Amino acid sequence: MNYAMLQRWNLFGGIATVLTVVFALLWAFPLYWGIVTSLKPEDEVVRPVIELWPENLTFAHYTNALFNTQIGRWYLNSVAVAAGVTVITIISSVLCGYVISQLNFPGRKLLWWLILASFMVPIQTLIVNHFELMAGLGLLNTWAGMILPKLIHPVIIIVYKQFFDNVPTDFREAA
C-alpha cells in the first residue's frame, strides 16, 4: 500500500467516525431530553423556551412516582404476566409441536393448516374480541385476563414442529 492510499483510508475512517458520533448523539438526544425533562419542575417543562439543562434541579417527580403511586405493584403485575405468558406459551407450544410432528391422529393436517392460517391474522385485529371475551368471562383486571389473550403464538408452534420433524423417530421409540 502506498502513502496516498493510506491517507485516503485515514480520511474515510475519520469521516466514518465523525458520522457515527453525530448519529449516536442524534440517537441519544431523546433519551437525554427525557431524563432532563424529568428533573425539571413543572413550570420549566411547559415553558416555550428550550433549555438543555434545568434551572432548578428536582427529584420531586421520582419521589412522587415511588411513594405516591403503586409502582411496585405495577412492576409485580408486569413480571407475573410476562412470566406466566412465557412459561405457559413454551409448554403448550412444545406439546403442540411434538403432537403435530410425531403423532398420527385424525384431523392432524387440518390442525396444522389452522395453525398456519392463524399466523396470517394480525394480533391487533383480535384486541376487541379478546376484550369482549375476557369481559364475558369476568376476567377483567385479573392476571388470567392479561395472560390468556397473549397465549396465541403460532410461530412458536411452527418452530417446535420443524424441530421435532428433524428428530429421528428412533429416539422417540427408544424413549
pLDDT digits (tens, 9 = 90+) for 130-174: 999 999 999 999 999 999 998 888 999 999 999 999 988 788 778
User: pLDDT tens digits for 85-131?
Assistant: 999 999 999 999 999 998 889 999 999 999 999 888 888 899 999 99
| 69 DSSP 8-state letter | S
Q: Output the pTM of the full model.
A: 0.70
Instruction: Quote the pLDDT of residue 49.
Output: 84
Residues whose CB falls within 8 Å of the CB of residue 169, separated by 6 or more in sequence, listed in order? 102
pLDDT at 4: 64
The x, y and z cell numbers of residue 85, run together, are: 405468558
Find out whether 146 and 79 touch, Cβ atoms under 8 Å: no
What is the model's pLDDT at position 5? 63
Return the higher-pLDDT residue of 94 and 47: 94
Determine the residue type at 65: A
In terms of DSSP H, where are the helices of 42-166? 42-45, 60-67, 71-102, 108-118, 127-136, 143-147, 154-165
Nearest-angstrom CA–CA distance, 173 and 91 = 22
* Alpha carbons 41 and 132: distance in angstroms, whole number: 41
